[in-house]
Structure 1
């Protein structure tokens, strides 16, 4: 696929348009420019200019003025937006149009730019009639309200005179004195950050293979940086609103600090059932509330774009790029049919302001969205132990022994049968398998509850890995194919770190229970850690991937945060400050190269892009380091860094409930009213679904909420921890009488498709046709525990609040 430079994209689009017969439709009085798919742009003389309705922002950066302890209502001024007085009345009264309506007829699409005619005007309100330049049998009116300087709300009302199928577009050009697309960063929460690139990506590492995929005949899949939405693919993107964590599209100018964002204001309650992989023009069967938001490179200047109903372009990323090349995922435009006399009203908010950094933009849009949406806790009915007992069904049912290693069926499994796809059983020690963490949880819970079956299963798995699970150079066998008794000869910092953590936690439990573990087990864990430490780079990072001979295959430091928990546990267990010092060295890298650069990428293994887990792991690493820090000033610094990482992580968690249609599993088979998606987290730019990833993150949020200064900022971390916990803990947990479309009790699902995106089958409102059950079980299990800086309260000495090294028995 050819890559698109920021300056070259428009030239390529112009070339494509010159070949497109729709470029100069004969019925257009104005011949506009086009997107790559041939859709016309809004003409320059009809584009909304943000500066036309807001006064110039002050030259000094705005302070964070609103108290987090007070929820901002939509009628109140937003923090960080300009508060410098109303704009000149003449500018507001003459607020220009930037719209066109596309009508779908039997003869094809007709594009109709609109002319705005003012019907009513006052100091704060204006009503317009949006008149298409040709008769479309569609009446359009707009009601605009200037809430505060820099905050405009507008609702557009559509009424059909005769039956009509329509699509509405508005473009907002963002122009400052020196604004250029290349000087701006963009935000689509949970999907797009800045230019959506991975820092330091090279041609040598773009096709590193790290994750198994049964769709490729048991080979390892390639996950290249150009297979997900980014500026390397294109610079014009609009996406369905249910693809983002909250319906916002924002642009931020790095030099001036000015930002503009569009926010959808309606409650999204309806959606229509669609084929799994729609293309081209789609007439919706029934009503929908889903629109689309995005941005565009408009001849070198940035624009924000909104559509109703939804319209995805220049590419409609609906299928994982490794399964279908992104360049083959062409645009999709939906049309809403209104019969004579029917109407529809859609509303948005447009906000202009200034802030100090891109991080502040993320906070600003999140605060505005939370204040408007105000998500409530999801009702729950099960006690923690009842949930754990249900999860134990997974341990018992999925347990499998082989001639060498024992474990749990954990990856590439059908949600309908909860059996392995293509009978290819693979044990994966970390990441999506979490065999060793589940074994430790199974064993320790069995000991606490006196369940001999769990004790035996946990002991069998852990013993087999201590005896047969290590390679010659001391690494753990990350992925082991049980049928062939073969391991994958590529290794990652993330899986090694997560597996080492699970083994040390098992050793801690045994020592605390007065059952000293065999010295051989401790020696093997030490050797594993020493091998991993030998890979640490001068800057403190750990390479993302390496081979059995420790030759680095991917030097990206995305897995660095994943090593910190194991190192801190090793410091306490072995009473060796070397492990703490290595973790601190890694912490310097995380602070300087991840958090301060907003570079939350490449932590997940089955993609190489911006992802949620990079942010949650960075925050978790700061939490662990704070637990071994006695210097108050340094602990405050770690808290501040963790809070910044948490802010980015929270931008992946949904603040509203995605609407599902009748016929969707997530509506029909999740009683009583379908899945509430608020509190579930989007995964990454490449994997555009939601999941139940939590692990340590909720304890980190609560710690940040307690420690962050000023204290008034702590409310959002506590609030979101409670929301996430209420939503994840039991909604999709299959149990008798409520199986939620899953084949067996206790198998917590992984890939939940809340939008028009999939891994090759099924589409919105369903589960992926294969998934991993290992890590969701481990995630919910860990979420229900309350730990102090990563340690179970039962294992902390009572005389020290920060858990000094464990005394040997």
Structure 2
């Protein structure tokens, strides 16, 4: 029903960099039981009137006002009769579609061509509209590769409101109030356009589930006779030298406009750690050759262990074992120490392949994979090395040495030296014999921290040199191209974790170098940090009554989208908050210091306790797939969790955030 082409134009008299703003508008009116009518609008002074001259049951006005370097576009709708409506607009940017790249925070980067065709991307269409709650900031923006021009439209937020709908597709009349509009892009014609409107539509498809596109939706809001509705958007234009700087400038504009404030945390870091230790106790599995905390493929309804152990990524078995040992010794809880030591001893005896690498994943219903079936990821191997080196230094500080573990870790790191390619990269996945399974280099920065830690622990300079080469590759192929992808293991697309890996890699090298070299790593770290932070919410998306997350009072600021493919929020932070704080101090970046507080204070909100389980059956098992928009990983939809989750990594991530000096303490000479 919604025509992509807006036939008539509102020309604003105000100028932006000497160019008239060209906004095309339409109003769609729906009578219950009838297909909606789309009415093109044209300007008559400040009034928007039907181009065909026919009367409307609405009076619509539009105004542009200067606000600093931006323009605020205000649309006011007043009803002469009860009406169901949808208002839409397009901003003609003056940028050629062929030269355009788009940034919609936390969901769209460049043209999303790293994503599969089953997710929103230019593979499927060059014109998309999205509900605002899919985006970490309610903004759509375009960058001109040819001329360096940046244009953005940011929604000025209303009081958060949301309502349930009886249908998810087609033309739907909302059952109550919503504050959600839509933002999007249109490259179907020669000139790129930014689209926006209220209430939400999603076209040409809705992204409803992992790798699942479905029929579009067009929502209609009800306005009673005599009522007035005002909606505002902020339009900005600037210049950037590349797409990375475009993202940086747009992130800063969103931060300054949305002004996210830190919440009062529900629990202190020590209270959080104490609560999370229940996971160590309740998830412990000891009846297989590898002992482990069951960390993934658990049901939220019972949290019973699953017969599979994963050394890194989802399960983070080795890191959680060390966390249990450290906490247990600090607090005199010997059962945690015993469990942690049993896990690590079992991995020393049974957890390494014939080539000396960790078994990334072992499913005990199938048994250990044969050598020719083993597949490793550079990410999981690096995460395993990271955990064991933390353990070894901790043990050494307490007068205990583990020469067998030291030899095993040196063997893995020496293997890294052989695996590293001439350009400094590592294959994303490889066989036990070192041959590539997936030769793409997007996961390369995962290895950097392990190599730097190996250099600091063993004093072997070859590890430091290999780490430097990873960042040479990172700078040339990822940071300079703003192409952060394929770090997460359950998706291969633009993702947050790739940017966080880049931040972490450059931070580690800055910690062990001096002078100009150190400054280079700090500067690269800051560039990558803007991309990482672009996935983190600066606003609170609305929930309807009856959607559990809203009923629990969840504020989404400080939480983050996962990837284009996985459009939910989670607590994946690990070392990022304290690195962002460190960057803020190093660079005098007050926005970073404030964003650290927003993230740090927000992530305790869904801590399951005996009195407040937050939808998880066992206290301390922190939720993972937090579904904040109309998308789910497989079940339950907005306002709820997927039925399966992986608390192994959520506990490990929060534990790292609440241990902010851990890395600095390790890397000190």
TM-score tier after normalising by the smaller chain length: over 0.9
**Distance across 1 between alignment mates of 2:302 and 2:80:** 51
Partner secondary structure for residue 139 of structure 1: strand
Output one character per residue of 1:614-664: Cα deviation in whole Å (capped at 9) or x when no partner. Answer: 11110110110111113x111111111100000111111100111111001
Q: Secondary structure at the match of 1:264?
A: strand
Q: Which residue number in structure 2 is paired with residue 357 of structure 1?
A: 242
- Residues 656-735 of structure 1: pairs in structure 2 closer than 5 A: 656-668=539-551, 670=552, 674-708=553-587, 711=588, 714-728=589-603, 730-735=604-609
Q: TM-score, normalised by structure 1?
A: 0.79
CA distance in structure 2 between the partners assigned to 1:131 and 1:569 by the alignment: 67
Tell me the CA shift for residue 130 of structure 1: 3.6
Structure 2 partner of 1:262: 153
The 1-side partners of 2:97 and 2:238 are apart by 18
Matches within 5 A, 1:721-760: 721-728=596-603, 730-760=604-634
Measured against aligned partners, the alpha-carbon deviations of 1:762-800 in whole angstroms (never above 9, x if no partner) come to 111111121110001000000011226x24x3x5xxxxx
Matches within 5 A, 1:64-103: 97-103=24-30
- CA shift, 1:377, in A, is 0.8
Once residues 684 and 49 of structure 1 are traced to their aligned partners in structure 2, the CA distance between those partners, rounded to angstroms, is 37
Distance in 2, Cα, partners of 1:146 & 1:449: 59
Contact 2:177 2:221 in 1 (8 A): yes
Rounded to whole Å, the distance in 1 between the matches of 2:216 and 2:266 is: 43
State the partner residue of 1:803. Answer: 668
In 2: Cα distance, 1:514 partner to 1:737 partner? 41
State the match for 2:119 in structure 1. Answer: 228
Matched, 1:137 2:57: yes
Worse-superposed segment, 183-192 or 160-169: 160-169
CA distance in structure 2 between the aligned counterparts of 1:342 and 1:533, rounded to whole angstroms: 69
What pairs with 1:37-116 in structure 2 (closer than 5 Å)? 39-44=2-7, 46-47=8-9, 53-56=14-17, 97-116=24-43
8 A contact 2:378–2:426 mirrored in 1: yes
For the residue of structure 1 that corresponds to 2:64, the secondary structure is: strand
Q: Which residue of 1 aligns with 2:75?
A: 156
Contact 1:732 1:748 (C-alpha < 8 Å) held by counterparts? yes
State the alpha-carbon separation in 1 of the partners of residues 109 and 24 from structure 2. 29
Q: How does 1:6-25 map to 2 (within 5 A)?
A: none
Q: Helix, strand or coil: the match of 2:27?
A: strand
Native 8 Å contact 1:42 1:99 kept in 2: no
Name the structure with the higher strand share.
2
Aligned length: 665
Query: Is residue 640 of structure 1 aligned with residue 530 of structure 2?
Result: no
Aligned to 1:79: none
Stretches of structure 2 that go unaligned for 5 or more consecutive residues are none
CA distances 1:542-567 after superposition (whole Å, capped 9, x unpaired): 11011233221211112111111111
* Distance across 1 between alignment mates of 2:660 and 2:9: 53
The CA deviation at 1:136 is 4.0
CA distance in structure 2 between the aligned counterparts of 1:418 and 1:754, rounded to whole angstroms: 22
2:467 to 572, 576, 583: 583
Aligned to 1:147: 67
Distance in 1 of aligned mates of 2:442 and 2:287: 33
Aligned ranges 1:570-649 → 2 under 5 Å? 570-630=454-514, 632-649=515-532
Secondary structure at the aligned position of 1:649 is classed as helix
CA distance, structure 1, for counterparts of residue 563 and residue 264 of structure 2: 27
Indicate the residue corresponding to 1:461 in structure 2.
343
Displacement of 1:114: 1.6
Q: Secondary structure at the match of 2:442?
A: helix
Alpha-carbon distance between aligned partners in 2 of 1:132 and 1:282, rounded to the nearest angstrom: 25
Displacement of 1:132: 6.3
- What is the distance in 2 between the residues matched to 1:43 and 1:225? 30
Q: Which range moves more in the overlay, 578-587 or 529-538?
A: 529-538
Give the C-alpha shift of residue 699 in structure 1: 1.8
**In the aligned structure 2, how far is the partner of 1:658 from the partner of 1:297?**
28
Of residues 757, 763, 775, the one that matches 2:637 is 763
- Superimposed CA distance per residue, residues 495-520 of structure 1 (whole angstroms, 9 cap, x where no aligned partner): 11101111111111111110111x22
Q: TM-score, normalised by structure 2?
A: 0.95
CA distance in 2, matches of 1:416, 1:244: 29
Aligned twin of 1:522:
406
Change in Cα spacing, 1:102 to 1:486, as seen in structure 2 (3 Å) is farther
CA contact (8 A) 2:9 2:41 kept: no
Structure 1 residues 665-723: Cα deviation after superposition (integer angstroms, max 9, x where no partner): 1022x2xxx10110111111111111111111112112211222xx3xx1112111111
User: Shift of the alpha carbon at 1:96?
Assistant: 6.3
CA distance in 2, matches of 1:132, 1:768: 47
- State the distance in 1 between where 2:383 and 2:9 align: 51
Deviations 1:352-377 (A, max 9, x none): 23222222221222222212211111
Cα separation, 1, equivalents of 2:633 and 2:190: 34
Per the alignment, in what secondary structure is the counterpart of residue 540 of structure 2? Answer: coil
User: CA 1:56/1:676 → structure 2, altered by over 3 Å: closer, same or farther?
Assistant: closer
1:262–1:348 contact (8 Å) kept in structure 2: yes
Match of 2:280 in 1: 395
